[in-house]
Amino acid sequence: MWTLYRAKHRVLDKAENQNCNSYNKLHSYGHIVKERNPGSMAYLQTITPVPGGPTLFQRFFLNFTAQKDGFLYGCRPFIRLDACHLKGKFSRVLMSAVGLDANNGVFPIALCVAEGESKQSWGWFLEQLYLHIGLEETRRVTFMSDRQKGVLDTVVRQWPRATNRFCVRHIIANLQAKYRGPLNGVYVWDATNKSNKREFLEEIEKLKLVNIDAYNYVMGIPLKSWCIHEFDTHVKSEHTTNNISENFNSWVDELRSLPALHMLESIRRKLMKRANKRLESTKKWDGNVPPAVCKKLAKMQDKGRFVTVLCASETKFEVKDELIYYNVDLENYTCDCGFWQVSGIPCKHAMAVINTKRLNSHDFVHKYLTKEYYLKTYSHVINPIPNEFLWPEIEHIEVLPPMKKKMSGRPKKKQKNEQR
């Protein structure tokens, strides 16, 4: 096992050594990105730890204009923030800001290779994002995170009008670590997914009865950051977990051992190909909404078979679901259950009304979840970039790789073995 570990690291070291020069090429890369994709942002930050000493790579921010425009014109104002460690001997992380397209597909907005996760690196990334995207001037954005170190502070500082949303699985994991109880997580999970206050309170009261400390812990976290019924309704996303960034991290996983430049170029090519593929796929769609939305509508229609519709006017209705009456308003796209407002997709009560009136459910989906907005997301092209030998010579100070990782864990074992 240990031989395999050393052999693997010898290969990684060789790859890193061969490509140390890749950090020095990021100036030229930034230049060619902006030349071939006007409006894009590629910004290299360096550091000189010792006055008069060598200049080292610190961070590189990358946002293609196609990703910026695709997000601004085609996506919901919802951004998932995450970071994953990169492989190799140098200390690096890949930070990402990822949006969602109308089909609930992952849409990376901006990337940053940084020296590590800290308040400073998150602050720098979010500052560049704010400067380049500038979304808050027109629409409030909701960020989702795992409450990583530094993320919350920097979101508040850099994006003062933004709201924070936390991954519920992360909240439940913290809860389980602090307070034992086999059903604690189940009660929190059920409560978080309720789209109105009455049902939320019914569920969370169950936690209060079995463990008051656990109840106080979760209720101490702002409800608007983890409970669907308190989410900002203009975002049109009911997502409570970080699935989207996990999808992104697995999408780039095979590239994480590459040097920064080659990894970023590989991600660009993947993005370029995928945008084209997704655009082409729309030719096979039926109707005005993407397949993922069609699936949700079908689910709501199925659930709506068991409710009773009472008509008050052409647009206003009362829908009886078991013992409760919900008001549905087709003109304002609202239902008392709250699901339609938060998700942008008609709930089971609204679907029952739509079916009774023999209307087309696609006409009652929010614009962020339509084919029109999907096309807006992917109609901006990431232009090809020529091979390195065709890049123009740019005069700049020599940039060396970042600091090496502090090795821990395995080397301790090595020391023990050597002492035997």
Stretch that binds Zn ion, among 198-206, 331-339, 357-365, 374-382 (CB under 5 A): 331-339
For Zn ion, the binding residue among 244, 337, 353, 369 (CB under 5 A) is 337
181, burial (CB in 10 Å: exposed 0-12, middle 13-18, buried 19+): middle
The nearest distance, CB 408 to Zn ion, in angstroms, is: 52
As a whole number of angstroms, the distance between CA 206 and CA 228 comes to 18
Contact in structure between 118 and 149 (CB atoms under 8 Å): yes
Stretch that binds Zn ion, among 52-60, 167-175, 349-357, 411-419 (CB under 5 A): 349-357
As a whole number of angstroms, the distance between CA 61 and CA 48 comes to 18
354 binds Zn ion (CB under 5 A): no
335 binds Zn ion (CB under 5 A): yes
Helix (H, G, I), strand (E, B) or coil at 67: helix
Q: How many CB atoms lie within 10 A of CB 293?
A: 25
**Residue nearer to Zn ion on the CB measure, 313 or 419:** 313
**Residue nearer to Zn ion on the CB measure, 251 or 333:** 333
The nearest distance, CB 189 to Zn ion, in angstroms, is: 21
207 binds Zn ion (CB under 5 A): no
Task: Count residues near Zn ion (CB under 5 A).
Answer: 4
Contact in structure between 136 and 162 (CB atoms under 8 Å): yes
Stretch that binds Zn ion, among 133-141, 284-292, 294-302, 327-335 (CB under 5 A): 327-335
Stretch that binds Zn ion, among 51-59, 173-181, 310-318, 329-337 (CB under 5 A): 329-337
Q: How many CB atoms lie within 10 A of CB 150?
A: 16
Token digits of residue 274: 């995928």
289 binds Zn ion (CB under 5 A): no
345 binds Zn ion (CB under 5 A): no
CA distances from 295 to 103, 116, 291 (A): 10, 40, 6
The nearest distance, CB 349 to Zn ion, in angstroms, is: 3
As a whole number of angstroms, the distance between CA 395 and CA 398 comes to 9
The nearest distance, CB 241 to Zn ion, in angstroms, is: 22
The nearest distance, CB 335 to Zn ion, in angstroms, is: 3
The nearest distance, CB 356 to Zn ion, in angstroms, is: 14
For Zn ion, the binding residue among 347, 351, 354, 365 (CB under 5 A) is 347
**Residue nearer to Zn ion on the CB measure, 349 or 376:** 349
For Zn ion, the binding residue among 239, 349, 366, 380 (CB under 5 A) is 349
Closest among 83, 71, 90 to 19, alpha carbons compared: 90
Beta bridge partners of 94: 84, 113
> Residues 6 or more apart from 207 whose CB is under 8 A from it?
183, 184, 187, 188, 191, 214, 215, 218
The nearest distance, CB 301 to Zn ion, in angstroms, is: 13
194 binds Zn ion (CB under 5 A): no
3-state secondary structure 202-229: HHHHHHHHHCHHHHHHHHCCCHHHCCHH
Helix (H, G, I), strand (E, B) or coil at 40: coil
Helix (H, G, I), strand (E, B) or coil at 336: coil
**Residue nearer to Zn ion on the CB measure, 215 or 340:** 340
79 binds Zn ion (CB under 5 A): no
**Residue nearer to Zn ion on the CB measure, 147 or 320:** 320
Token digits of residue 339: 């699901």
The nearest distance, CB 140 to Zn ion, in angstroms, is: 25
Q: Which residue has the tokens 């919901």?
A: 76
Instruction: Determine how β-strand 142-145 pairs with β-strand 78-85.
Output: parallel
**Residue nearer to Zn ion on the CB measure, 227 or 335:** 335
The nearest distance, CB 117 to Zn ion, in angstroms, is: 40
Q: Return residues touching Zn ion (CB under 5 A).
A: 335, 337, 347, 349
